[in-house]
């Protein structure tokens, strides 16, 4: 289903690939996003429910995948399992500074299939995406987590992320 794939400059950690019989593919052609669109849609819907309390627009998964590839901050890496199924996905794209317009790469989607969790696969995908971005001259990578999601924050910190600042949100008129 996927077209030609670009090689990933830094290999997925071999200690993960061999025992689990996995491969890592960089998606670089917007036309190749179709196969990952349903998964991306589910992940966007879940994020919208958790972070915005709003439903995700239809077809936004495919649009997100195609849009991030138009930015130097965009990376899509698919981890493929032994039977050709997608068992992991990371998507990065721009975090735009509202004051000056600078773009910092940000992890927008990160997913690992249940059967492959707690084996370092997410950390490996983050590392590989960061290496691709470094090859483009981008040496920072941002991520977001809800303020009380201790497990996700802890995983991020183990993957090299640090807490920089909190974003406060005030909703509704007159509150």
Q: Which of 3-7, 66-70, 148-152 has the highest mean pLDDT?
A: 66-70
The residue length of the chain stands at 175
Instruction: Show the tokens assigned to 19.
Output: 């025992």
CA distance 144 to 163: 10
CB 104 within 8 A of CB 94: yes
Answer positive or negative: Cα dihedral of 49, 119, 106, 35: negative
pLDDT tens profile 32-89: 899 999 999 999 988 877 766 677 778 899 999 999 999 999 999 999 998 999 999 9
149, pLDDT greater than 70: yes
What are the strands of the beta sheet with 23-27, ordered from one edge?
23-27, 75-80, 86-96, 103-112
């Amino acid at each position: 289903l996927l077209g030609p794939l670009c090689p990933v400059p830094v290999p997925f950690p071999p200690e993960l690939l061999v025992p689990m019989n996995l491969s890592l593919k960089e998606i670089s052609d917007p036309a190749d996003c179709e196969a990952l669109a349903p998964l991306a849609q589910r992940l966007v819907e879940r994020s919208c429910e958790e972070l915005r309390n709003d439903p995700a627009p239809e077809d936004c998964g495919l649009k997100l995948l195609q849009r991030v590839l138009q930015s130097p901050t965009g990376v899509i890496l698919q981890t493929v399992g032994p039977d050709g199924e997608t068992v992991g996905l990371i998507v990065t794209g721009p975090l735009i500074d509202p004051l000056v317009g600078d773009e910092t790469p940000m992890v927008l989607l990160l997913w690992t299939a249940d059967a492959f969790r707690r084996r370092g696969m997410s950390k490996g995908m983050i590392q590989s995406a960061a290496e691709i971005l470094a090859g483009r001259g981008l040496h920072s990578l941002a991520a977001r987590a809800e303020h009380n999601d201790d497990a996700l924050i802890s995983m991020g910190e183990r993957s090299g992320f640090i807490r920089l600042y909190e974003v406060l949100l005030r909703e509704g008129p007159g509150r």
